[in-house]
Amino acid sequence: MGRIILTGDRPTGKLHLGHYVGSLRNRVLLQNEGNFDRMFVFIADVQALTDNADNPEKVRQNIIEVALDYLSCGLDPSKVTLFIQSQIPELHEMTQFFSNLVTVQRLQRNPTVKTEMALRGFNADGGEDENRRGLPVGFFTYPISQAADICAFKSTTVPVGEDQEPMIEQCREIVRSFNGTYKCDVLVEPEILLPSNLVCRRLPGTDGKAKMSKSLGNCIYLSDDPKEMEKKVKGMFTDPGHLRVEDPGKVEGNTVFTYLDAFCEPDDFAAFWPEYANLDELKDHYRRGGLGDMKCKKFLIQVLNNRLDPIRARRHTYEQDIPGVYEILRQGSEAAREVAAQTLHEMKAAMQINYFDDTALIAEQAAKYRL
């Protein structure tokens, strides 16, 4: 069986370095290795609306931001099908059929849903006050719709961040339930693909907090210009115990070193800081004392610029042809829709609700009533 890669992002903001090391960089590598039958990357606008129903303008504005982030990172529309979720109505039919196979209790146990509900003040017990809102049904059931996104393309491989693990697990259960209930092998169980470098699975924010996130205001965006990026790195959280240059410093929990772990490549030392052969030597010096934070930050700025400059250049080119970017998404959506329609067709046949194609059913009913 072939390998089909699929992943996507909600268009609720620009993508940041956490997205980059957590998944985007991996996607571009996968694309360039070419070791797959087909690759899909999509903008999950329907999912974004599950908690932004009152703000479609935010979603509408961010479609192009995410598309530009994709293209500027090097996703190539001649190799990858780029599409927009809402343009594939088949996904919603699938969601409806899947929702009959999932219990409310199972959704309530999904750890990502739980965390996100708490974050948004959504509560299921009906009680509402100024800090708590009712739970939108569409938000609560989005793992089912996400399973449809994955299944529609018979995806085998889903490169996403660690927080998406419960979604993939829930999707696998839905696949087993569908194939079992309708005695078929139409749907395929996907595997999650996480970055092998552990620090990349959850990149901390510039403030050292557990996660880079828009709501915490601790992000470096792929689209930040060099000045903005430099300012953010200079203000970055390091080791609060490392007061004077001579003091020994801690590398663990020191955001500058976490970022170096995530972004540094072997050649960066020869290019920007030849006094050290590699990151281990730099860390040893920092631990011993005698190495200032600002020097390390300046190096990190050079490393990041080295990664981001080609991304910025591609972004600049695509920004000058916005209608062309929408056209890429339109063509991708058309191509994706064909695939989803084929899967839906097979699902309906397995469920035997393809009445008009079911000559056996028509003959059986005719025989029952014939005088």
Binding region for ligand TRP (CB under 6 A): 6-10, 44, 47, 146, 149-150, 158, 160, 164
Q: How far is the CB of 6 from ligand TRP (least distance, A)?
A: 6
Q: Based on CB atoms, which residue is closest to ligand TRP, 50 or 223?
A: 50
Q: How far is the CB of 121 from ligand TRP (least distance, A)?
A: 18
Residues 6+ apart with CB under 8 A from 366: none
Q: How far is CA 244 from CA 241, 279, 283, 285, in A?
A: 9, 21, 16, 14
Give Rg (Cα) of the chain.
24
Q: Based on CB atoms, which residue is closest to ligand TRP, 145 or 238?
A: 145
Q: Which residue has the tokens 């030597």?
A: 281
Q: Based on CB atoms, which residue is closest to ligand TRP, 170 or 218?
A: 170
Number of residues written out for the chain: 371
The CB-nearest residue to ligand TRP is: 44
* Type of residue numbered 11: P
Q: Based on CB atoms, which residue is closest to ligand TRP, 4 or 260?
A: 4
DSSP string, 256-322: HHHHHHHH--THHHHHH-TTSSSHHHHHHHHHHS---HHHHHHHHHHHHHHHHHHHHHHHHHHHTTH
Q: Based on CB atoms, which residue is closest to ligand TRP, 9 or 65?
A: 9
Q: Which residue has the tokens 């005088």?
A: 371
Strands 191-193 and 4-9, by their bridges, are: unpaired
Q: How far is the CB of 146 from ligand TRP (least distance, A)?
A: 4
Q: Based on CB atoms, which residue is closest to ligand TRP, 62 or 238?
A: 62
Q: How far is the CB of 149 from ligand TRP (least distance, A)?
A: 4
Vertex 139, ends 133 and 141: CA angle to 5°? 130
What is the separation of C-alpha 293 from the centre of its chain, rounded to a whole number of angstroms?
32
Q: How far is the CB of 367 from ligand TRP (least distance, A)?
A: 45
Q: How far is the CB of 354 from ligand TRP (least distance, A)?
A: 26
State the Cα–Cα distance between residues 258 and 108, nearest whole angstrom.
Answer: 34
Q: Based on CB atoms, which residue is closest to ligand TRP, 150 or 300?
A: 150
3 state SS of 237: coil
Q: How far is the CB of 10 from ligand TRP (least distance, A)?
A: 5
